[in-house]
């Protein structure tokens, strides 16, 4: 018998995700190059010093705009619920030798850790966008900002960038660590056994949904 797969992401959602990833990688590389002289050699990966300075703000703006589309598509499924707090409280079982997913509280499409990362993405990108506008284009967006406020914007920009990078590392690690997860963003579907094991509430909802896009044979 062929395994059954459940649709998790549409082609549009996956395209949006990978476009955000591409912008993030380029914006991060160019941003690190501008952050400290010791990292300025990274500018060679983005076309040299001049192109690094030119492209970084536009890459950042594109990343924020693309994520905005993702935000509207996924925010509803990332609303915090009581089971998410229970899941986070039991998260230690995932990394202990005695625990595992089978011992975790049942969750829907996203668990507490995934939702936390999602909202960290949203918050850090919002801070990056606002602070970036003040720092990079002060003549248009920071005209009323004092020197002190502009310096604060630089600090906030750097802190938000570090938070975003760390959140992306956790996000990417989890995608590779949990077998079968990466398929969701490459093919759009996951096996029914994967869904039943990791997201039992979402699995039940999908199995009860007779729509054509709920199941992929």
Active site residues: 171
Token readout for 7 is: 């649709």
d(Cα 179, Cα 17) in Å, to the nearest integer? Answer: 19
- Cα dihedral 89, 114, 165, 15, rounded to 10, equals 180
CA gap 197, 199 in Å, rounded: 6
SS3 136: helix
| Cα–Cα dist 67/121, whole Å | 9
Sheet containing 189-191: which strands, arranged edge to edge? 189-191, 5-7, 215-216
């Amino acid at each position: 018998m062929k395994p059954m797969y459940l649709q998790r992401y549409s082609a549009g959602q996956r395209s949006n995700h990978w476009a955000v990833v591409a912008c993030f990688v380029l914006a991060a590389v160019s941003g690190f190059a501008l952050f400290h002289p010791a990292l300025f050699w990274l500018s060679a990966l983005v076309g040299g010093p001049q192109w690094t300075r030119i492209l970084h703000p536009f890459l950042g703006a594109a990343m924020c705009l693309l994520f905005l589309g993702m935000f509207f598509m996924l925010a509803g499924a990332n609303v915090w619920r009581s089971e998410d707090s229970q899941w986070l409280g039991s998260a230690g079982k995932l990394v202990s030798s005695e625990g595992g997913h089978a011992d975790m509280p049942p969750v829907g499409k996203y668990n507490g850790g995934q939702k936390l990362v999602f909202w960290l993405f949203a918050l850090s990108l919002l801070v990056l966008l606002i602070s970036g506008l003040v720092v990079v284009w002060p003549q248009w967006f920071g005209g009323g900002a004092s020197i002190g406020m502009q310096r604060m914007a630089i600090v906030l920009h750097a802190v938000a960038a570090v938070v975003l990078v760390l959140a992306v590392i956790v996000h990417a690690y989890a995608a590779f660590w949990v077998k079968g997860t990466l398929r969701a963003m490459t093919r759009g579907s996951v096996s029914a056994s994967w869904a039943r094991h990791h997201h039992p509430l979402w699995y039940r909802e999908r199995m009860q949904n007779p729509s054509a896009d709920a199941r992929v044979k």
